[in-house]
Amino acid sequence: MDVLPLEVLPAGALETLLGGYGLRLERVPPGAAIPGSYWGEPEAGLIGDTLFVRGDTPVHSALHEACHYLLMDDARRATLERDAGGTDTEENAVCYLQCLLAAHLPGYSRARMFADMDAWGYHFILGSAAAWFAADSDDAVDWLQRHRPALLRLKTSGAAPV
């Protein structure tokens, strides 16, 4: 599987992107267990307000788990450990938001996010992440509009809103 790991991003890039959202990033040493990982290592993990990653954690995984945190309410955040839960439509909104954030992460891009999602095995009816994002993500956009409209500014802005 050819997906981009965090270790190739510029130093501090992910911390800078996520810093304004109240999500802490904790890097664990190479080979160490990743706390709160839903899919197992090297995938990112979530516990409370902390995103756990290693250098070999795929960028798409770190952004995906971060987006789960960004989209859940405070009650779910308070008990968050490993499984973010949520509805299928919220999951689509998570995927959509991770694609928006990808365009604001130095050393990464939306096109690379689409390629990594496809390589990792995300499944979309239209056959690819790029096709889904362009033509089949209305439910995700609607969910974001209802629950986290400020995050949709990422779609057209040059900077991530805080």
Longest alpha-carbon distance in the chain: 40
**Quick check: 76 and 85 in contact, CB under 8 A?**
yes
- Facing residues of 37 across strands? 45
- Tell me, what's the pLDDT at 1? 63
- Tell me, what's the pLDDT at 154? 82
- Tell me, what's the pLDDT at 79? 87
Q: How is the chain classified by DSSP, letter by letter? A: ----BGGGSPTTHHHHHHGGGT-EEEEPPTTS--TTBSS-TTS-EEETTEEEE-TTSBHHHHHHHHHHHHHS-HHHHHT-BS-----HHHHHHHHHHHHHHHTTSTT--HHHHHHHHHHHT---TTSSHHHHHHHS-HHHHHHHHHH-GGGGGGGT-SS---
In angstroms, what CA-CA distances link 98 with 22, 89, 101?
A: 16, 14, 5
- Tell me, what's the pLDDT at 20? 85
What global pTM score does this model have? 0.93
- Tell me, what's the pLDDT at 161? 46
For residue 73 the two structure tokens come to 């309410």
Distance (Å, whole) CA 77 – CA 65: 12
Whose tokens are 């904790």? That residue is: 26
Query: Which parts of the chain have pLDDT scores under 50?
Result: 159, 161-162
In angstroms, how far is CA 127 from the centroid of its own chain? 20
- Tell me, what's the pLDDT at 162? 39
- Tell me, what's the pLDDT at 156? 62
Closest CA to 65 of 89, 106, 97: 97
